[in-house]
Structure 1
Amino acid sequence: MSRARAVIALAGLGLSLACVIASDATAQGAGDASPVMLPSPAPATPQPEAAALKDGLAVRYYFNRFTHIAGLEDWMRADDGMPGKPLPMLDYDMGIGNVLTSSASDLVGAHITGSIHLADTGTYTFRIISNDGVRLSIGGVKMHEDPEIHPDTASPPLVMQVSEAGWYPLDILYYEKKGTAALKLAWQSPGSAGFEPVPASALKHQQAE
């Protein structure tokens, strides 16, 4: 049944469009999950020199029909991939367009690396939205993995205590099989009121990455 017909049918039963929207949002993991408490991350050792840091996150692309993060990992062992234009932020809602900064809209894997700056000590809560598979690690801690094909889906709140301000290694595996694509990383930093995209100023890479 099409969405339009479903809405009409539900309206005939006295249900509001707002209920339909709310149900759809919940199905896509829009924030009703319980927080996940994670170990504290390890900062980069040594800390990178400011002069060595470049804007954005480094990315390498792999072109194949991936259906699971494990398949992307296997492919990477035999393929060096293709370096792409750095990603200034992770706030991509690509629709059916090209995946991230690649030249392809389907059958794309990406290995994203760099550093994230956690400027304050305290509690950080992260959320990642992906379409399709993703694995997120910060400071050596695997924070979230949603490895199979799925529509736009949000992780639960990912909570970690940071005891030392500075730069932390960031590593993301991501792939898009076909259709629409998305990859968004948001945080609630200490003292902030809610989630916001991780800013470009907090995402850097070194030339060797």
Structure 2
Amino acid sequence: MIILIGNQKGGAGKSTITLSLANYLTLEKKCPVLVIDLDYQQSLMQKYDKAKLLENEEPYEVLPATLEGFGSLMNSIADTKNAIILIDLPGKLDDDGLLDVFVLGNLLICPFAYDEFTFVSTVHFALVLKKVSPKMPLVFVPNRIKANAKFEIMEEVNTQLLRLGTLTPMLPDRIDFQRLTTFQTPTLLTPVLSPVLNQIYAEHIHGKY
């Protein structure tokens, strides 16, 4: 199973969701997982390398990748077909090489925020995915939501996104997320993440890999 995590809007929280899901699947659900870091910043790869320097045993492997070398990489990991492959996508849509990635996906997880610019970018991104892979389920994750914030466009955003896919509970904007590593999720984040990750697992992963 190949799960894509992406949004063309930078700062939406792609890498954080990827890391949270990878930790959840390996540590809680005992699933074999492989993470591919296609993002230009390679932040997941940096965390993975840091964990190795600290001599921590990682529950999964993170591989760096580029769009140019993506096909060769997928061929080289053919023996990991039984693993759940999580791909942290680059935050843009203007590279034709992404089409080769999109068509392989079995599920897209799209973090977003409740502001007009992010909403427009999210819908555009989702429409492109639907055009390339009409049958691929889309899951939208409201992310980095500030406490007591009022979002005038929330109802409209939810209505539009539910026409394209499903919506998870919201994730708050918390400093704890900066403490996520490739070998553990901070304990204080577990009750925050569980409703989102449990829904994704129950609806799209359980019994399907």
Do they fold alike, i.e. is TM over 0.5?
no
Structure richer in helix, relative to its length: 2
Which structure has the larger Rg over C-alpha atoms? 1
Larger % of strand: which?
A: 1
Q: TM-score, normalised by structure 1?
A: 0.23
